A and B are shown apart, each in its own frame.
Chain A
Amino acid sequence: MISENSEVILSVRNLTANVEDTPILKGLNLEIKAGEIHAIMGPNGSGKSTFSKILAGHPAYEVTGGEVIFRGQNLLEMEPDDRAKSGVFLAFQYPLEIPGVSNVDFLRVSYNAKRKHNGLEELDAFDFDDLVQSKLELLKMDAAFLSRSVNEGFSGGEKKRNEILQMALLEPKLGILDEIDSGLDIDALKIVANGVNALKSSDNATLMITHYQRLLDYIIPDFVHVMEGGRILTTGGKELALELEARGYDWVREEEVAAR
């Protein structure tokens, strides 16, 4: 939902970044306001996941220029956990398995970290169970997932659902979903999309990274960006995704070159 006067959640200007001295992001610009849903599409290796991890603060990437302002704060100066507690959430393209840590403990620890940050009292195991139960229903997840180790032995689709479960608990201001649809069958996709839509409000925003128009039928974006070579080549509305699906990326490149 686009509304001119709403708060700017994320403002990225001329962002450049390296991994092991190789430039990956090469001048990326993006502005996201409250209430908006953005989608980034683009060929493999164009830097989409790199961008999402830089927003979350992954130490492997070195920002070499530009700025990222998140709700008025310089995001790049914040530790990853402070970013999370301030409302940045990244649903990973490849969620990690943490054998030995039960899902419910992990969820409670992260939920309480955020509450503490907000000056609220931590929830005990009892109250937390009630809360998590309601979120499980949203994602049609079995309670058995709570007692298992984080993501260990989860199917691809279960891992993605677990990411959205975490998001549902943490209620971020900016949810970044990196290929949340990859590997999901249509039923799971609908459940995940419903979950994401249910979390949507006029004071938060969502940034989705995807290769497939299919996801955008369920989570309808206000803006679609095409990324290639570490930059946003072009931006359009939801119809751009349909065009990309039909025509591929070559025409975007050609138009971009012609426009220069």
Chain B
Amino acid sequence: MTIEVSTLSDTADLNLKARVDRSIYLSELLNLRSPTPLEWLNAVRDRATAIVQEQAIPTTRDEEWRFTNLSSLLQVSFQRAEAATIGYAEIQPFLLPETTNSRLVFVNGFYAADLSAVDDLPEGVLAGNLIGIAEFIPALADYLAMQPGAEEVFTALNTASLTDAAIVHIPKNQIVEAPIQILYVTIASETPKLNQPRCLTISEVGSQVTLIEDHVTFGEGVYFTNPVTEIWVAENAGVRHTRVQRDSEMAFHIGKTAVSQARNSRYTCTAVSLGAEMSRHNLEIYQTGEQTETTLNGLTVLNHQQIGDTHSKIAFSKPHGKSNQVNKCIVSDRAHAIFNGKILVPKPAQLTDAAQLSRNLLLSAKARIDTKPQLEITADNVKCAHGATVSQLEDDEVFYLQSRGLKQSEAQKLLTYAFAIDIINQIPISSLCTILANLIRTQSL
């Protein structure tokens, strides 16, 4: 055995080389983008391109990426994803009866008009692809890629590559009964591909909408999906958002959801992450007005060698803001779940009421959970409750079920399901609740 001793300057060289490699790699990803026919969009893309060009793929030395190592991503050389056609029959299992005529389908990040249908939406509600709908959305330029945090490297990469995008616009005081489903289908193949879905939802003053984003896969193979969703909730509007990530276990998924909430608005996100070899969800909520309410429910279920990371941020800025967050992770085998829950309460955000609970279930000795509340509070009159628990299945509970005839493995599955189900039940679409409940109930542990 030989031991190599490197001098300080060698290490510095290595770091520099790593950084160069990581920025070269990033620029290669950037080069995969397709051109856009929209003249004005190039200005948006160029701004983001400049930001990307100054950055590199983060390392675990970056505080935000401490627990999630992207080295395995760098091992893969990705190609450009292309628009592809698939049959209605193939996506059928992912369509919800509640959204038969209120859904947008994207395949490999590209809009699939033939699979989309929006006939159930009230007049005035716009839902479709950026190309073809942009000119009908008032002040689109004020919204697209304008959320705080747009400079984050993967968000900027998505913006720099922007072509197709799901656009939903709910006009003032419009209550949309039909939930709107946005289905992102990836067709995986032997060649690793990068796809970058994009969604922009604008819910104008006093409007209400239910949104479902679902990431699904066909085929076998490695791919990298880098979706970005921006949601603008105007004054007194309400958005109920469900985000399901069920990518294949060979996928890399780095996703961003950025939400700005104006005064008196309500936003609920229920995010369920089941898939991907490595997944990350950056969920960022910016309360920009008084008396605003945010509810975040999260569930991550991982097995095998999966890594699943949720980084959430709720930034208060005005008085009487409210947030309620419950995040649950279930990990078995050698899986690794990460939860980092940032809550920012600056001085003007007096009388903020924020609650955060991180509950975790460890099903194997080799599985790992890193959970961290990150409260940065400078206002003095606030209520911020937070708690984190990591537990295992109780022997007595397993035994109780076994004593009623359930095999040990069945008992463990049922108890795991029981741990998860209250998050699933927050989803306001009953068919989706059933699908996800069954997935979790039958998932091998």
Beta-carbon contacts under 8 Å, B392-445 to A: 395-397, 399-408, 410-411, 414-415, 417-422
Beta-carbon contacts under 8 Å, A82-98 to B: 83-85, 89-90, 92, 95-96, 98
Q: B400 to chain A: which residues have CB within 8 Å?
A: 92, 95-96, 98
| A99:B418 contact, CB within 8 angstroms | yes
The one of B395, B404, B410, B415 in contact with A84, judged by C-beta atoms closer than 8 angstroms, is: B404
| A109:B414 contact, CB within 8 angstroms | yes
| B402:A96 contact, CB within 8 angstroms | no
| B408:A106 contact, CB within 8 angstroms | no
- Please give the distance in Å from A91's CB to the nearest CB on chain B: 10
Q: B397 to chain A: which residues have CB within 8 Å?
A: 96, 98
The one of A84, A98, A99, A149 in contact with B405, judged by C-beta atoms closer than 8 angstroms, is: A84
- Please give the distance in Å from A242's CB to the nearest CB on chain B: 32
| A170:B417 contact, CB within 8 angstroms | no
Task: Give Cα A85 to B411, complex, Å.
Answer: 14
- Please give the distance in Å from A257's CB to the nearest CB on chain B: 36
Chain-B contact segment, one of A53-61, A129-137, A199-207, A243-251: A53-61
| B415:A109 contact, CB within 8 angstroms | no
Check if A113 is an interface residue, CB within 8 A of chain B.
yes
Interface bits A60-94 vs B (CB < 8 Å: 1, else 0): 10000000000000000001110111000110100
Interface centre among B395, B404, B411 (most CB of A within 10 A): B404
- Please give the distance in Å from A81's CB to the nearest CB on chain B: 5
Closest to A89 in B: B403
Beta-carbon contacts under 8 Å, A140-195 to B: 149, 166, 170
| A100:B402 contact, CB within 8 angstroms | no
The one of A59, A113, A166 in contact with B406, judged by C-beta atoms closer than 8 angstroms, is: A113
Task: Give Cα A113 to B411, complex, Å.
Answer: 12
Check if A19 is an interface residue, CB within 8 A of chain B.
no
The one of B404, B419, B422 in contact with A106, judged by C-beta atoms closer than 8 angstroms, is: B404
Q: How many residues of B contact A (CB 8 A)?
A: 23
Task: Give Cα A9 to B407, complex, Å.
Answer: 24
Contact-size category for A: 20 to 34
Closest to A83 in B: B403
Q: A110 to chain B: which residues have CB within 8 Å?
A: 401, 404-406
Assess A81 versus B414: contact at CB under 8 Å? Given A96-B396, A98-B397, A100-B419. no
| B402:A98 contact, CB within 8 angstroms | no
- Please give the distance in Å from B436's CB to the nearest CB on chain A: 14
Beta-carbon contacts under 8 Å, B358-409 to A: 395-397, 399-408
Assess A60 versus B404: contact at CB under 8 Å? Given A98-B418, A99-B418, A109-B414. no
The one of A84, A99, A117, A149 in contact with B403, judged by C-beta atoms closer than 8 angstroms, is: A84
Task: Give Cα A59 to B403, complex, Å.
Answer: 11
Check if A114 is an interface residue, CB within 8 A of chain B.
yes
| B417:A58 contact, CB within 8 angstroms | no
| A57:B406 contact, CB within 8 angstroms | no
Check if A101 is an interface residue, CB within 8 A of chain B.
yes
| B405:A113 contact, CB within 8 angstroms | yes
Interface centre among B401, B410, B411, B420 (most CB of A within 10 A): B401
Closest to A84 in B: B405
Assess A117 versus B419: contact at CB under 8 Å? Given A60-B395, A96-B397. no
Task: Give Cα A259 to B399, complex, Å.
Answer: 40
- Please give the distance in Å from B330's CB to the nearest CB on chain A: 12
| B395:A59 contact, CB within 8 angstroms | yes
- Please give the distance in Å from B151's CB to the nearest CB on chain A: 41
- Please give the distance in Å from A228's CB to the nearest CB on chain B: 26
| B415:A170 contact, CB within 8 angstroms | no
Task: Give Cα A99 to B361, complex, Å.
Answer: 15
- Please give the distance in Å from A4's CB to the nearest CB on chain B: 32
The one of B405, B408, B410, B421 in contact with A100, judged by C-beta atoms closer than 8 angstroms, is: B421
Interface centre among B400, B407, B410, B420 (most CB of A within 10 A): B400
- Please give the distance in Å from B329's CB to the nearest CB on chain A: 16
Beta-carbon contacts under 8 Å, B250-283 to A: none
Assess A101 versus B418: contact at CB under 8 Å? Given A60-B395, A80-B399. yes
| A56:B405 contact, CB within 8 angstroms | no
Task: Give Cα A90 to B404, complex, Å.
Answer: 9
| A57:B408 contact, CB within 8 angstroms | no
A-B residue pairs in contact (CB < 8 Å), sample of 15: A57-B402, A58-B399, A79-B402, A81-B402, A81-B403, A83-B403, A84-B402, A84-B404, A98-B401, A100-B417, A101-B418, A109-B406, A109-B410, A110-B401, A113-B410
Chain B positions near chain A (C-beta within 8 angstroms): 395-397, 399-408, 410-411, 414-415, 417-422
| Besides A57-B402, A113-B405, 18 new A-B residue pairs in contact (Cβ under 8 A), listed by A number | A57-B403, A59-B395, A79-B402, A81-B405, A81-B406, A89-B403, A92-B400, A96-B400, A98-B397, A98-B414, A98-B415, A100-B417, A109-B406, A109-B414, A110-B401, A113-B404, A114-B405, A170-B404
Counting from the closest, the 8 A-B pairs by CB-CB distance are: A100-B418, A113-B405, A110-B404, A80-B402, A84-B405, A96-B400, A100-B421, A101-B418
Chain A positions near chain B (C-beta within 8 angstroms): 56-60, 79-81, 83-85, 89-90, 92, 95-96, 98-101, 106, 109-110, 113-114, 117, 149, 166, 170
